[in-house]
Amino acid sequence: MDRLIKIESRSAIPSIYSESPIGLLLEYHNLGRKFENYSSARLLVGMCMDNRKHLNIPDNFAFIIRTGGANLRHSEFKVSFAIAVGGVKHIVLIGHNNCGMVNLVSKKNIFIEGLVKNAGWTKQQAEEQFISYAPLFEIGNEIDFVLSETVRLRGKYPKIQIAPMIYLVEDNRLYLIKE
C-alpha cells in the first residue's frame, strides 16, 4: 500500500493528470463526479479481464481493452488503432490485487483439469497450451508489472500520456502507483 496514491479528493490527483482524461477517470470512478456526455473516447483503458472490476465512467468516455493482468503486449495493434484512428492521447493501465495472472505455475493443474473437464480437451492438449502460453502471460507482481508495462508503452508511444494504476478489489477504488 505504500506504493499507492489514494485518491479521495480532487486535490489528491497529481497536477500532471488533474486536467486530463486521466484525472476525469479518477473523479468519475472514485469521487462520483456527475457524468458528462461524450461523443468520442477521450482515453484508452488497459485493464484485467477479471470479473470483479467495473469502472464507473460515462458512456463513450473510453476505449477499454481487457486482457489477463492488463497485459497489452499482444494487443498493440488495438492500442495503435485507438491512438491513430480514435485520437486518444491518454492511456491508463489498471492492474488489480489478487490477480490470477500472478504465479501461473501454481495454477497449472487446475488449468489442465479445467480444460479437460469443461472444454473436452485431452490432458496433453491442455498441458501443451499451458506450457506454450503461461510464460507469455505471467505478470509476476501486479504493481511491478503495471509499472514495467507503463515504461514499455511510453517508449513505444512517446507523445501519449500513460498512467499506472491499481484497482483494489476490497474497496472497488482506483489508486495511482508511485513511480
Region 20-43 average pLDDT: 97
Confidence (pLDDT) at 91 = 98
Domain that holds residue 115: 103-138
Confidence (pLDDT) at 52 = 86
Judge whether 65 and 79 are in contact, CB under 8 Å. yes
What's the number of domains the chain is made of?
A: 2
Same domain, 92 and 33: yes
Same domain, 60 and 26: yes
Confidence (pLDDT) at 1 = 64
Judge whether 163 and 17 are in contact, CB under 8 Å. yes
H or E element in which residue 166 lies: strand 161-168
CA dihedral of 151, 133, 75, 45, whole degrees rounded to 10: -70
Non-local (6+) Cβ contacts of 19 within 8 A are: none
- CATH code assigned at 154: 3.40.1050.10
Same domain, 24 and 91: yes
Whose cell is 488495438? That residue is 78
Kindly report the pTM of this predicted structure.
0.93
Same domain, 38 and 86: yes
Same domain, 37 and 85: yes
